[in-house]
Amino acid sequence: MRIRISGMLACVLMCSNLGSQAVSLSNFNVESILSIQEDSFMPNADTEVSAGARFAPAASVLLEAAFTLEISDMADFLHPLPEYREPGNFYFDGASLQFPRRSETGASWGVFTGFFDDPSSDSLLKRELKTSVSPPEFRAMPAGSVFDPDPVIAGNGLVFWGVPGDGSLALAGYGYWNSLLGSDTALTWDVRASRTDVFFTYNMYGGFLAEMATGVPYLRAGFTGLFSSEQGNSLFIEGILKDYAPGSKKRIDRNIHVLFEPRIQLRPADIALSFFYSPLEEENTNYIGGNLLIGFGDLKKNRMRGGMSVLASIDPNNPGTISPFSFSLTPFYAVAKGDFAIESAAVIHPLSFDEWRSAVQLQLRVKAVY
């Protein structure tokens, strides 16, 4: 049995204003996984703590930084005897210095190091167009998270963004170096566009990565869109190409992620039926699958949400092989209390009951909601 306890406090915990200055701890995440290893009956707690801070000395200047602390065994980390105590690993995730424009026209710009953004996310939509596209809910479940393509913008670089025209389109450009030297040096250039209309909102990006030693270009691109209707029904689509070198011997399908998800409102229930094609780099194979999520309630409106998520997938090359991703049931329930939500889920693998340690996974998450 594996128990996952995750606390996600994505909120502003501290804010002070001194004239034009403002400091805030804007992101604080704690995630601990308690598991029983295959060769042991003793549980092990693997914990990750991440935090992000912001400093705005003026309206047109913003400094952000993020850090992560990883603790492989919480019991050893907190051991009362120093000789048995095991330290954690502290990582610098990234930082950026941004200069947002102060008027509706013109461009904003910034410099960054480390992780900066996910180009497939709705971050540009939120920042510039004040709207959002909700990602597939099943990917937030432990069973579905492995099928998240998770493209990143990371390295040492420069970013420009703005909203030209009538204010319904946001554009951004990124150029960055991967922070490595010698034969591992690579440069990446990306462009990105986000737009919102009455019934259609999308985010798209494209670019290429060039290895300086070989000169080989790797293409990368992505599209995320949401069609909506007056009845509340919607259709989410996603297609992502991750770092593919044209003319290489590697099959292009090893780099393509595709997802198609109708979302139907039946009030008080809602249904999301997902169909996806996703490669898993760890297994060097592709999976075709589907997920049915039936939910009820809304954390913001009803202060609660619950339901069931059913995931099934196969490896087309080995359709008879049973894997942790073959079939799972995930009942979930969440309730909001004040500015926080407590979410729980139980991931059940019916095809793995012969190994009880991996047949059930429990998840508890605490996060801020505003």
Residue partners of 130: CB distance under 8 A and separation at least 6: none
Residue 9 pLDDT > 50: no
**Encoded tokens for 182:** 């010698």
Query: Per-residue pLDDT averaged across 142-154, rounded?
Result: 90
Residue partners of 276: CB distance under 8 A and separation at least 6: 147, 257, 258, 259, 260, 287, 288, 289, 290, 291, 313
Q: What is the pLDDT of residue 143?
A: 86
Q: What is the pLDDT of residue 159?
A: 97
Q: What is the pLDDT of residues 119-128, one digit of tens each?
A: 999 999 999 9
352 vs 189: which has the higher pLDDT: 189
Query: Per-residue pLDDT averaged across 78-88, rounded?
Result: 79
Query: Per-residue pLDDT averaged across 55-82, rounded?
Result: 85
Residue 1 pLDDT > 70: no
Classify 171 as helix, strand or coil.
strand
**Encoded tokens for 7:** 């606390």
- Which residues sit opposite 70 in a β-bridge? 48, 89
344 vs 258: which has the higher pLDDT: 258
Cβ atoms of residues 87 and 67 within 8 Å: no
Query: Per-residue pLDDT averaged across 167-194, rounded?
Result: 91
Residue 341 pLDDT > 90: no
Residue 25 pLDDT > 80: no
Q: Where are the domains of the chain?
A: 101-368
Strands 304-314 and 256-265: unpaired
227, amino acid identity: F
Residue 28 pLDDT > 60: yes
Cβ atoms of residues 190 and 173 within 8 Å: yes
Q: What is the pLDDT of residue 16?
A: 39
Q: What is the pLDDT of residues 271-304, one digit of tens each?
A: 999 999 998 866 678 899 999 999 999 888 889 9
CA 239 to chain centre: 15
Query: Per-residue pLDDT averaged across 217-222, rounded?
Result: 94
Distance between the two ends of the chain, CA-based, in angstroms?
33
Q: What is the pLDDT of residue 10?
A: 39
DSSP 127: I
Classify 121 as helix, strand or coil.
coil
Q: What is the pLDDT of residue 21?
A: 52
Residue partners of 81: CB distance under 8 A and separation at least 6: none
Residue 35 pLDDT > 50: yes
Confidence of residue 14 (pLDDT cuts 50, 70, 90): very low
Cα-Cα-Cα-Cα dihedral of 351, 259, 94, 86, to 10°?
Answer: 0
Identify the H or E element spanning 124: helix 123-124
Least confident of 19-23, 245-249, 321-325: 19-23
Q: What is the pLDDT of residue 368?
A: 62
DSSP 17: E
Residue 17 pLDDT > 60: no
Is the N-terminal amide bond of 268 cis, ω within 30° of 0?
yes
Strands 269-280 and 217-228: unpaired
Confidence of residue 11 (pLDDT cuts 50, 70, 90): very low
Query: Per-residue pLDDT averaged across 136-164, rounded?
Result: 92
Query: Per-residue pLDDT averaged across 336-365, rounded?
Result: 78
Percent of the chain with pLDDT over 90: 46
Strands 340-348 and 107-117: unpaired
Average model confidence (pLDDT) across the chain? 84
pLDDT winner (highest mean) among 73-82, 142-151, 224-233? 224-233
- Which residues sit opposite 291 in a β-bridge? 274, 311
**Encoded tokens for 168:** 């319904």
**Encoded tokens for 254:** 């090893």
